[in-house]
Amino acid sequence: MTINILKYFFLILILAGCSPRINITKLSRKTPDLQRVKFEAKGIYARPVINYFVKKIKTTDKINITSGIELYRVSYFTEDEDNRKVLVSGLLAFPRNKKIKGVVSYQHGTNSERQNAPSKPSQNEGLGIAAVFAGGGYLCLIPDYIGFGVSAEVHSYLHAETTTRAVIDFLKIGSEICTLLTGDKVNNLFLVGISQGGHATAAVHRYIERNHVDGLHLKATSSIVGAYNLREVSIPFAIENKSVFYLGYLANSYCHIYKKPLNSVVLVPYDSVVPRLFDGNHRYEQIVSQLPKTADSLYRKEILEDFISGNHDWFTDRLAENQTFDWKPNALFRIYYGSKDRDVSPQDAIKAFEHMKQLGGNVELVGLGELNHLQSAFAALPKTRVFFDSLTIKQKQIFHPGVPSLHQSDKQ
């Protein structure tokens, strides 16, 4: 009975006085580039509801919520590894008050379920992240990547090029939306990603600094418990820690992208099991229950030996190509890690920082203490909001032109 009353209460908060403030679809018709983009309303959430979801994330520090939010699933085209146009999706969230501080692009962590994509929206990396950033005054973009949301393709796991394309193509849409909402170009961009998203975030930061993207000025990046040196640190650590989920996921992705037989990496009979498990329809628990317990029962002996000896094979060479640590950041690149992380090696963060610093990069390393992977993510999120907010305090915030003010009683 109590649960039903609470659900009813929150439904009222979501719906009462929460008609869309802006007709995104109508506005997008004013811009030719956006006419090929589909917008699907995914909810309007009042500030009390957003506070509720932020508290459920259980971050170590308080996150200040200043606004209710509006959510849209955006379907758009990007290019896959063969330069074919493929339909992908992402979550667009913006604050319901008048102020937009800037654009935040959040790159999500490892997920094996297509329907659990951020644009659904999923509770944690969809609604939760939208609450943290759009609820704090930012226009927030959360790309699903190839293989999630509306995309039926094989997910391009830890593949820098295709992931970067999906993010950049969504950022271009976000920039256009900002122009429509504000009447002026909003070009301050903040990047943040967790785990797999840390790898993606580093790749996107690198791309933006090497390739001009119209309308975007990269202000700063927060990369949380990310994998950067796949060949020398990330995957050897996964092998040592018997992380067969990550190893199976990566082999399935790379063999698909680089047109190699799966049995060139994965042993029989798992070479026929892995594609079925990583089809986008299985949960983590379902997958690991059908994989062997150790890496030497999943990967071929010669592949494992090449990681140890440093010898070359197609798989380790492709991992080296997808590194995201060997470059010099110009905009501030902040790296967070936890010393008790057993999913991604703390050395990934430490060595990436040391290498970038040696190159003269604008990089900072933040140790979060004796925290595991998930605990580190929860600890770093509020710190990231404070970090981004500190870079917007002295800047004039941009207002939605012609948008009526909310009634004081709405407090959204």
Mean pLDDT of 231-237: 98
Q: Does 184 or 62 have the greater pLDDT score?
A: 62
Q: Say whether pLDDT at 408 is over 50.
A: no
Tens-digit pLDDT profile for residues 250-264 = 999 999 999 999 999
Structural domains of the chain ordered from first start: 16-229+324-393 (3.40.50.1820), 230-321 (1.10.260.160)
Residue 100: pLDDT band with limits 50, 70, 90: confident
Q: Say whether pLDDT at 298 is over 70.
A: yes
Mean pLDDT of 118-133: 93
- pLDDT value for 213: 81
- Per the omega criterion (within 30 degrees of 0), is the bond before 20 cis? no
> Is residue 94 within 8 Å of residue 139, measured between CB atoms?
yes
Average pLDDT, the chain: 89
Mean pLDDT of 218-240: 98
The region, left, alpha or beta by phi > 0 then psi within -120 to 50, assigned to residue 155 is beta
CA–CA separation, 297 and 77 (whole Å): 39
CA–CA separation, 78 and 146 (whole Å): 9
CA–CA separation, 218 and 220 (whole Å): 6
Q: Say whether pLDDT at 274 is over 80.
A: yes
Q: What is the distance in angstroms between the CA of the first residue and the CA of the last residue of the chain?
A: 28
Q: Does 20 or 136 have the greater pLDDT score?
A: 136
Phi and psi of 65, rounded to 5°?
Answer: -105, 125
Q: Say whether pLDDT at 61 is over 60.
A: yes
Among the residue ranges 58-62, 200-204, 311-315, the one predicted with the least confidence is: 58-62
Residue 181: pLDDT band with limits 50, 70, 90: confident
- pLDDT value for 184: 62
pTM above threshold 0.85 = yes
Residue 147: closest CA among 247, 249, 231: 249
In a 13 Å sphere around the CA of 316, the CA atoms on its Cβ side amount to 18
Mean pLDDT of 35-51: 89
